Amino acid sequence: MGTIRITSGILKGRSLHTPGGKTHPMGERERLALFNMINEHLPGAEIIDAFSGSGALGVEALSRGAKRVVFIEKDPQAVRTIRQNLAELKIDGEVLMGNVLDFQDTKLYDLIIADPPYDKFEIKSVEHLTQFLKPGGLLVLSHPDKDVLIAGLKLLKTKKYAAARISIYSK
């Protein structure tokens, strides 16, 4: 288990534990760029952090003013790490253990952040999440270096970082 730092907001500089194993947290430079691109959408937002890993992306969103984050992660060690991070930072978030494809909810969200594993990247998991996105809401996707089209969403912006891309879509 390692640590990473929160890049901005009220929790800037605080440390987060990472679960290790197969999870690889997004780099600080990429996280900072991602959140600078969506910063105006964060205050008061209700967010899904899918494929959460350490929970870093959801915690960054909370640090920048998001109202609520639902963390979805299937790895038990990662789920324990997210819960530990939230407890140590004294912040709230709903942590769900399970596959993204099994997620169900009756409410819609302002923002969905998805950072699926690149070695098993499956667009169907991401497409499943889009049904929980409010009209006008944003989907932020970290993905391998190839274009990804998502039915029902409009690609607004893509930024390339080494062998990865961060794409932002609107509904």
Write down the pLDDT at residue 29: 84
DSSP structure string for 26-79: PPHHHHHHHHHHHGGG-TT-EEEEES-TTSHHHHHHHHTT-SEEEEEE--HHHH
User: H or E stretch including 131?
Assistant: none
pTM to 2 decimal places? 0.94
Give the residue from 55, 32, 35 showing the smallest Cα distance to 45: 35
Write down the pLDDT at residue 73: 96
CATH class for the domain made up of 2-170: alpha beta
Token pair belonging to 134: 């409010």
Write down the pLDDT at residue 117: 85
Torsion sign across C-alpha atoms 153, 63, 40, 31? negative
Residue 36 sits at the vertex; the CA angle it makes with 17 and 47, to the nearest 5 degrees, is 65
Write down the pLDDT at residue 80: 96
Give the residue from 130, 160, 157 showing the smallest Cα distance to 143: 160
DSSP structure string for 102-123: G---SS-EEEEEE---GGG--H
Q: For each successive 10 residues of the chain (171 residues), what is the average pLDDT? A: 89 92 78 92 98 95 97 96 97 96 96 88 90 97 86 93 87 95
Token pair belonging to 76: 């038990």
Instruction: Quick: pLDDT tens for 115-127.
Output: 998 777 788 999 9
Q: Return the SS3 of 169.
A: strand
Write down the pLDDT at residue 1: 67
